Structure 1
Amino acid sequence: MNDTEWITQLLQTENSEIIGMEISRIDNPVLLHNIALNYNWDDGFKLLNLIINNGNCELGTALMLFYNADGYLLLNENSKNNITGQKEWLAFINTLFNKLLNDKFCSKKVSYQPGLSKVQKYKLKKANPNIPEMFFEGVKAKN
């Protein structure tokens, strides 16, 4: 079975204990990234929390998850006062943001560029002058 078939099978598994065991055993950051990339966000945040807490989750994957989870709202000064929503989402996005700020992810094999426009970058940098550049420019894999 190739990686794509395995990821599809894993993401279709309904037993969360099996998924948790499999995610915790993954030592390949590219495989973790591909699981995160193909994740169905309607399934909640349990699997995503497992991914970001796996020691092999890289900065590129974490940034991708941050932006896919609407992390832009957290960085956007105009949205901060209007952030409401699921407790699960708030807990996930805040945990991920803090892990990113505290340099809890390495960067070796996984690249990610947020795809922000020049205007978006300007507004975010103006609202958040202390936010690390990686939030605006992303990260490149190291060879």
Structure 2
Amino acid sequence: MEPQNKWRALKIQKCFMYLQQIYNWYNGFSMPNEIISNDNCDMVLMMFYLSEGIRLLEDKESVEQSRLDERSKFITAIYSMF
């Protein structure tokens, strides 16, 4: 990878990190879905953590039965990436 492309990728990573940390999850999941689907993003585990994905690991059934449908789908989509 050329130095210019490496710099651009680094700037994108920092932008993703910032967006993940300040994002208000009550605003929906369109932006988080864009982040995890971007090829330059390798912070999927952080998104899993920030979206309370640990709940899926602790009690999968409660996540599947949750009334937070969009969050459940998001967490499950990240989990299926691994």
* Same fold flag (TM > 0.5): yes
Q: Which residue matches 2:79?
A: 97
Structure-1 separation of matches of 2:68 and 2:34: 19
- More relative contact order in 1 or in 2 (CA 8 Å, sep 6+)? 2
Whether 1:87 and 2:82 are equivalent positions in the alignment is no
**Which residue in 2 is equivalent to 1:11?**
none
Q: Does structure 2 conserve the Cα–Cα contact (< 8 Å) formed by 1:45 and 1:92? A: yes
Match of 1:74 among 34, 56, 78: 56
The structure richer in helix per residue is 2
Q: Percent identity?
A: 31
Q: With structure 1 as the length reference, what TM-score do the two structures score? A: 0.46
Larger gyration radius, structure 1 or structure 2: 1
Number of residues of Structure 1 aligned to a counterpart in Structure 2: 71
Match for residue 57 of structure 1?
41
Instruction: Extract unaligned runs of 5+ from structure 2.
Output: 1-7
Distance in 2, Cα, partners of 1:53 & 1:73: 22
For 2:53 and 2:75, how far apart are their aligned partners in 1?
A: 7
Gaps of at least 5 residues in structure 1 are 1-25, 102-143
Moved over 6 A (4+): none
TM-score by length of 2: 0.75
Whether 1:40 aligns to 2:24 is: yes
Give the RMSD, CA atoms, in angstroms. Answer: 1.6
State the partner residue of 1:115.
none
* Structure-2 residue corresponding to 1:114: none
Letter in 2 for 1:63: L
